[in-house]
Structure 1
């Protein structure tokens, strides 16, 4: 696999915390902060019930950047060697490159060269993914969640496919 799966590409490219276009007129709680891995779209809390049978990731804000709980993200992708941060007592991972800090250290991110603590190699999920693609052109060793062999985001999931709405005979 020489490219990112659709769900991973979508997760890292998505703009979160914008108003939901479908629920724009609703007074509150219409910010898109959940990502559906099956549909590759961001959702507001009002959209989530329509995707509850799909795998979802909640995105949070930390230091003005998008983060995901490490415990949630590691169900879908190997997060080893990515620097975690603590947010309200939970470990989180930055989705995209983090802002440069003024700290001095001999250890830097292997992709963007921003300063990070030992023994970590990457400052964010995108840095790890982009580094592996540029060095090895392969992500198969870290991807734990696959929709399908072609990863187009629109195909049915292998193994446990749902039939959808049951079609029953009319009552006479």
Structure 2
């Protein structure tokens, strides 16, 4: 029989399912559709499904959208804060939205070297380099730390309103997995991480007008390089 402390420390079913789920895998029910990746999680059923499954899912169930950044699952901080206290978890600003990584990420070689040198603040669970004053790099690292220490999970869980996660929030979600606002399921890949988190993705627009003007100038100069023609003497 489990002790009272262990029972109090257990994470609820929806939270365990969220951290254990494999997102962005193909949906078996819609293999013939484009963009059939599973990126919507039902907090009642504790399972994920793709946008094509929305019409057949129970409209009363609260739903959470998971997004993708540098091959990792992330959730918008505004959404996750309604479910669980995200304090001490380092957020990242991506495409003007703050997000939280769902699971622990692999350490880079440079981060491991910094860790050996004893520099920087590190995650309590996986020792990943963090900014001050954060203690965790992901939601799962915070949950694992609390469960290992036997802390009561109810102290960080929120009593959320189902209407905040209603199916209506996906009315603008296109069947290809993106939304009308252009900030769809996949965030664009940034150009690395700085001390302030991943850099904002940048768009590089080629100046085709300038290039065409330059080519016209070259063509004009080439025409002027012919043999000079003298006007006839009067």
State the Cα distance separating 1:110 from its structure 2 match. 0.7
Which residue, out of 139, 142, 166, partners 2:156? 142
Q: Per-residue displacement from partner, 1:140-168 (whole Å, max 9, x unpaired)?
A: 1111148xxxxxxxxxx9xxxxxxxxxxx
Counterpart in the other structure of 2:139: 125
Counterpart in the other structure of 1:93: 100
Which residue, out of 40, 44, 58, partners 1:38? 44
State the Cα distance separating 1:13 from its structure 2 match. 0.4
Determine helix, strand or coil for the equivalent of 1:133.
Answer: helix
Aligned residues: 146
Determine helix, strand or coil for the equivalent of 1:35.
Answer: strand
Matches within 5 A, 1:40-55: 40-49=46-55, 50-55=57-62
Q: Per-residue displacement from partner, 1:18-62 (whole Å, max 9, x unpaired)?
A: 111111222x12110011001101010011231432211111111
Q: Assess if the C-alpha contact under 8 Å between 1:66 and 1:96 holds in 2.
A: yes
TM (norm. structure 1) is 0.79
Which residue, out of 115, 126, 131, partners 1:112? 126
Q: Which has the higher helix share?
A: 2
Q: Assess if the C-alpha contact under 8 Å between 2:9 and 2:146 holds in 1.
A: no
The whole-number CA distance in structure 2 between the counterparts of 1:35 and 1:53 is: 14
The structure 1 segments of at least 4 consecutive aligned residues displaced by more than 6 Å after TM superposition are: none
TM (norm. structure 2) is 0.59
Counterpart in the other structure of 2:90: 83
Determine helix, strand or coil for the equivalent of 2:60.
Answer: coil
Q: Assess if the C-alpha contact under 8 Å between 1:122 and 1:128 holds in 2.
A: yes
Counterpart in the other structure of 2:17: 10
Determine helix, strand or coil for the equivalent of 1:22.
Answer: helix
Whose Rg is larger? Answer: 2
- Kindly report the root-mean-square deviation, in angstroms, between the aligned alpha carbons of the 2 structures: 1.7
